[in-house]
Structure 1
Amino acid sequence: MRILHVDTEKGFRGGEQQLLWLVEGLIKNGIDSAVATVKDELYNRCRKKGIKTVRLTGNQLTDWLRLAKEGKNYDIIHAHTAKALNISALAKKINKKPLIYTRRVDYKPKNNIFTKFKYRLSDVVVCVSEAVKDTLVGFVDSKKLRVIYSITDPKLEDSVDLKRVEKIRNSYKGKFIVGTAAALTKQKNIPNLIEAASMVLKQAKDVVFIVAGEGNLKEQLEKQIKSLSIEDRFFLIGFKRDIQNYIKAFDLFVLASDNEGFSGAILNAMILKIPVIVTDAGGAREIVEDNKSGFIVRKRDSKQLADAILKLYREPNLRDRFVDNAYKIVKEKFSVKKMVESYIIVYNELMEVKK
């Protein structure tokens, strides 16, 4: 069996990490896999790991023609982003290969002709949570829908450099660190976190906030931070390759998203034994059990978010309880092995239909 995975995104976010773990797992199981992507972080990481790559240009017409030709050499095409599905669906008309799409967002697809066309050409649509699946009910044939949860790397704990963690913590002079790993995009609603931070910082003098990630809202967020006069305690630190060390340096992990198909960042914090607070956004509710493995607060409610942060800041025993429960959940439900096995089942189903 030969699988061609397609991801058209620049940068390296959660979806790209999930793809990389999947491909590595498939190769370990003897399934020939290659990644078609633009020359950026995912491409570089694949090359470094010895994973076969097909270089895309970022031009949809050129890349469609490339997939139409290259796809003939594979048994299944697996699109991992919306734009990847665009070109993969069009290419299917020529390469005639089964097409699987993994959808990671929890908002409804656009109700237009082309969107309906590409979903109709998808043989299977994998949703990374039940919340994502719910957005497709009535839009996509239910027989095509599957749920396979995203996961976190079980080796993440072992990859932590404790000396690096200590150095990060020392750079903030022993403060209580509230952090997140999130792109600076509308979906992640960092302004909500900034508003909550301004409330927290009025009551807790030894707290700092850190956001690790890049995005097109950086300038806007910097202005908001300055307008609230918290620029000496709220830091946008950019993309960090060793994000596990930063998360491990946090005292508390917060995700303030408006939309969240599923969040590998939450899982990362849980397996690294950092207490979590998340908004009731999509798949986040399927990871965290409120008041057992973390707090779930309302979307866009900065006051409730601030209250939850202050409660965990003030109650170390509660933080410890959340951490213990969360760690067990991750180990039981969200493993690379389980995700890879689930995808292999889907691939085998497609191969049987192909026969």
Structure 2
Amino acid sequence: MEQTKLTNTQATKKKVLHITYDMRIGGTEMVIKNIIEGNDGSVEMSIFCIEEPIGPWGKDLQDEGYSIHSKARENGFDRSLITAIRKHVRAHEIDIIHCHQYTPWVYGTLAVLGLSTKVIFTEHGRFYPDVSSWKRRFVNPILSMMTDRITAISEATKEALVEYEFLKRSNIEVVYNGIKALQVDLGEIEQVRQQHKLKGGDFVFGTVARLDPIKNQKMMLNAFARVLEKRADAKLFIVGDGELMDELEQQIQILDIADSVVLTGYIPYPKAYLAMFDVYLLSSLSEGTSMTILEAMSLAKPSIVTDAGGNSEVILNKVSGLVTENNSEKSFSNAMLSLINDTDTTLTFGQNALRQFYEKFEQKKMVNNYLEIYAKC
């Protein structure tokens, strides 16, 4: 069922259709949601999902009055999906399709072939380990010729497009993710602290992420066990759910650190936990631009991150946090010990992170960048 948010000036506005997999809770989906909700009204925006169900954020946007259409793609190369997108674009007189991720780009570009509709492709991140194929070496340059603008969410992602997707570096521009700053009531933080029986002197490390091999929480736990050998007052909260839950629970028992680690499971709105952390952790093997790092920065939290993907572009080493060698529990634990033993530096890094957030990663900056791109298409 479609719902459309209309205005009196609708007829003069450009119409932008975001094509994506779905609108479940995730980084790419958060970017789309922020672009739409941060729109100044100069552009009419809608969404076409190529997978179903559309997800909770899709339903939220529908409740706000935005048009969301979906068609679940079939296995293999689904020609009917191309037809469905093309029919939708023509029926709704779409001026620009903004394709998020590779597969939506392929289907979207083919769907508007021969139409006046402009194409924008945004790459939000890469798989680990990154791979390519001989097909893409030939196909992607052709797709690029039919695409008006290509953006990536970090310099690292841009370089991956050059190396693995055979796209010209000069054709790719970086638009960093942006979010609204989180606002958390002190009472919410205290409630979480009391719920988990934290003491006043406890130093809390924490992360918010799906429990997935690419997030490398196993390394994080090993590193934290090293920290506990020297600082028994350390606590670690891992907020999220996923395929590794059972393995992480077993690892915690083997390491004998259950009294100091909390696996909260899935929490829909974990901002109170982020605000409770003294230091935010991200141990990913691969990353584009982590939205939860940005949320932590908006709360003046320093971060310890692995040198993966765009992490070192977001967290400036020894300025807004510490950047460690990728997949090194020794490097990660040393960074954790460094901050737990120097609270003045920890607070300074946090203030630097907050300033950096407003300079570079606030929602309005990202939205304005994309609105400018739309205006030039």
Give yes or no for TM over 0.5.
yes
1:257 CA displacement: 1.0
**CA distance in 1 between partners of 2:355 and 2:33 (Å):** 24
**CA distance in 1 between partners of 2:366 and 2:102 (Å):** 21
Q: What corresponds to 1:31 in structure 2?
A: 43
Equivalent position SS for 1:240: coil
**CA distance in 2 between partners of 1:239 and 1:83 (Å):** 28
Alpha-carbon contact 1:128-1:147 (below 8 Å) kept: yes
Any gaps of 5 or more consecutive residues in structure 1? 351-355
**CA distance in 2 between partners of 1:120 and 1:153 (Å):** 37
Equivalent position SS for 1:21: helix
Q: 1:135 aligns with which of 160, 163, 167?
A: 160
1:300 CA displacement: 0.7
Provide closer, same or farther for how the CA distance between residues 270 and 217 of structure 1 changes in structure 2, counting only shifts above 3 A: same
Q: What corresponds to 1:117 in structure 2?
A: 139
1:115 CA displacement: 7.3
Equivalent position SS for 1:163: helix
Equivalent position SS for 1:165: helix
Provide closer, same or farther for how the CA distance between residues 59 and 213 of structure 1 changes in structure 2, counting only shifts above 3 A: farther
Alpha-carbon contact 1:125-1:144 (below 8 Å) kept: yes
**CA distance in 2 between partners of 1:77 and 1:294 (Å):** 37
Provide closer, same or farther for how the CA distance between residues 86 and 184 of structure 1 changes in structure 2, counting only shifts above 3 A: farther
Equivalent position SS for 1:203: coil
**CA distance in 1 between partners of 2:368 and 2:126 (Å):** 24
- Identical positions, percent: 28
Q: What corresponds to 1:259 in structure 2?
A: 286
1:322 CA displacement: 0.5
1:226 CA displacement: 2.6
Count of matched residue positions in the alignment of Structure 1 and Structure 2:
346
Q: What corresponds to 1:70 in structure 2?
A: 88
**CA distance in 1 between partners of 2:137 and 2:126 (Å):** 16
Any gaps of 5 or more consecutive residues in structure 2? 1-13
Q: What corresponds to 2:24 in structure 1?
A: 11
**CA distance in 1 between partners of 2:73 and 2:300 (Å):** 38
Alpha-carbon contact 1:183-1:213 (below 8 Å) kept: yes
Alignment of 1:329 with 2:356, yes or no, is yes
Q: What corresponds to 1:166 in structure 2?
A: 190
**CA distance in 1 between partners of 2:118 and 2:141 (Å):** 12
Provide closer, same or farther for how the CA distance between residues 201 and 134 of structure 1 changes in structure 2, counting only shifts above 3 A: same
Equivalent position SS for 1:292: coil
**CA distance in 1 between partners of 2:251 and 2:42 (Å):** 50
Alpha-carbon contact 2:236-2:262 (below 8 Å) kept: yes
1:349 CA displacement: 2.7
Equivalent position SS for 1:183: coil
**CA distance in 1 between partners of 2:35 and 2:317 (Å):** 29
Q: Which amino acid aligns with 1:120?
A: I
**CA distance in 2 between partners of 1:249 and 1:223 (Å):** 26
Equivalent position SS for 1:232: helix
For the aligned residue pairs, the C-alpha RMSD in angstroms reads: 2.2
**CA distance in 1 between partners of 2:221 and 2:191 (Å):** 25
Q: 2:238 aligns with which of 208, 211, 219?
A: 211
Q: Which amino acid aligns with 1:324?
A: Q
Provide closer, same or farther for how the CA distance between residues 54 and 227 of structure 1 changes in structure 2, counting only shifts above 3 A: same
**CA distance in 2 between partners of 1:99 and 1:118 (Å):** 14
Q: 2:55 aligns with which of 40, 56, 63?
A: 40
Deviations 1:67-86 (A, max 9, x none): 12112221111121333224
Deviations 1:238-275 (A, max 9, x none): 23222222100112101111111111211111110122
How high is the TM-score relative to the length of structure 1?
0.90
Alpha-carbon contact 2:122-2:150 (below 8 Å) kept: yes
What is the correspondence of 1:1-355 to structure 2 with a 5 Å cutoff? Answer: 1-9=14-22, 11-26=24-39, 28-37=40-49, 38=52, 39-57=54-72, 59=74, 61=78, 63-72=81-90, 73=92, 74-93=94-113, 97-106=117-126, 108=130, 110-113=132-135, 116-117=138-139, 120-122=142-144, 123=147, 124-137=149-162, 139-154=166-181, 156-157=182-183, 160-174=184-198, 175-350=202-377
1:116 CA displacement: 5.0
1:97 CA displacement: 2.9
Alpha-carbon contact 1:85-1:118 (below 8 Å) kept: no
Alpha-carbon contact 1:192-1:256 (below 8 Å) kept: yes
Equivalent position SS for 1:299: coil
**CA distance in 2 between partners of 1:71 and 1:328 (Å):** 41
1:117 CA displacement: 2.6
Q: Which amino acid aligns with 2:44?
A: D
1:345 CA displacement: 2.2
The worse-fitting range, judged by mean Cα deviation, of 212-221 and 281-290 is 212-221
Q: Which amino acid aligns with 2:28?
A: G
Q: What corresponds to 1:353 in structure 2?
A: none
How high is the TM-score relative to the length of structure 2?
0.85
Q: Which amino acid aligns with 2:159?
A: D
1:180 CA displacement: 0.6
**CA distance in 1 between partners of 2:23 and 2:245 (Å):** 17
